[in-house]
Amino acid sequence: MRDSQSSSELLARLEGRGSLKNLEPYLFAEEGSPVHGDIIEFHGPEGTGKTEMLYHLIVRCIIPKSGGGLEVEVMFIDTDYHFDMLRLVTILENRLAQRTEETIKQCLGRLFLVNCSSSTQLLLTLYSLENMFCTHPSLCLLILDSISAFYWIDRSNGGESVNLQEMNLKKCANFLEKLVREHHLALFATTQTLMQKSTSSAESFFPLKLQHETDADYRPYLCKSWQQMCLETAEDKGSRVESTPAVVFLLETNAERQKTILF
């Protein structure tokens, strides 16, 4: 009886999970997106505005419905230590019609911020957060900025063994997939451009590239568990995905709803 009751309570919480529908129509052009289960990767070099864009998406989430927001909770895991609370509050104040201290506090109360300084700490943090997703039905968006932060450190610590280099990130990716699937979450993760295809001397005279040429420059380098997770998520939506799912900046430019955004 107790197990049945617990299952019923869990189902009720999942059904009550907040919606991200119409989070940012100019970015997520497909009607009703993003939805629970979406895994979206924002990829680009440092300084291209990935974190800045996340601030705007967070603000849209935490503003009350009466103010044009979604009134849902967000979990932000900061591995780059780039999160600027002052910048977030500035954006929030500019979006709010009523900029009272109480309103701002209520909005910020819907944001949970965690810092991680290693892939091991990230993995332990993800394990510890699972219960929070169970008890917060309004918590529907998990943001990881960035999942590539410990790439070089892990490579160094793993020596010549690829398995050791990727061990923690592989576990993180697998557990993230579990969290997204079982708790009806959406996951936004950023990755930094660390690997670039070599260019010929002739190409160096033409730094501006067309969209299809930019897509071809995207080179995934994280563990296969992460790459496969993004591919499977897009395929679950009925998309036909190539080996490197990528579009340039706006998802609205891609009718097939691929999951990586290039800056």
Residue 13 has what pLDDT? 53
In this structure, what are the phi and psi dihedrals at residue 109, rounded to the nearest 5 degrees?
Answer: -65, -15
pLDDT tens track for 68-90: 999 999 999 999 898 999 999 99
β-strand partners of 139 = 73
Look up residue 49 and give its DSSP letter: S
Rounded Cα gap, residues 62 and 58, in angstroms: 6
Per-residue pLDDT at 258: 41
Q: Residue 42's beta-bridge partner residues? A: 190, 261
Say which range, 79-88, 112-121, 169-178, 213-222, has the weakest mean pLDDT: 213-222
127 pLDDT band, cuts 50/70/90, is very high
- Confidence bin at 230 (pLDDT 50/70/90): low
- Nearest C-alpha neighbor of 46 from the set 148, 155, 115: 148
pLDDT band at 257 (very low <50, low <70, confident <90, very high): very low
Candidates 36, 5, 9, 4; CA nearest to 20 is 36
Q: What percent of the chain has pLDDT over 70?
A: 70
H or E stretch at 187: strand 186-192
Please, how many CA atoms are within 13 Å of residue 113, restricted to the half-sphere of its CB?
12
Q: If you average pLDDT over residues 17-21, what whole number do you get?
A: 82
| pLDDT value at 170 more than 50 | yes
Residue 91: φ, ψ to 5°: -65, -40
Residue type, 46: E
Count Cα neighbours of 29 within 13 Å in the Cβ-side half-sphere.
13
**Candidate from 9-18, 145-154, 232-241 with smallest mean pLDDT:** 232-241
Q: Which two tokens stand for residue 239?
A: 């998309």
Coil, strand, or helix at residue 142?
strand
pTM as predicted: 0.77
Name 60's bridge partners: none
For 64, the token pair is: 């009350």
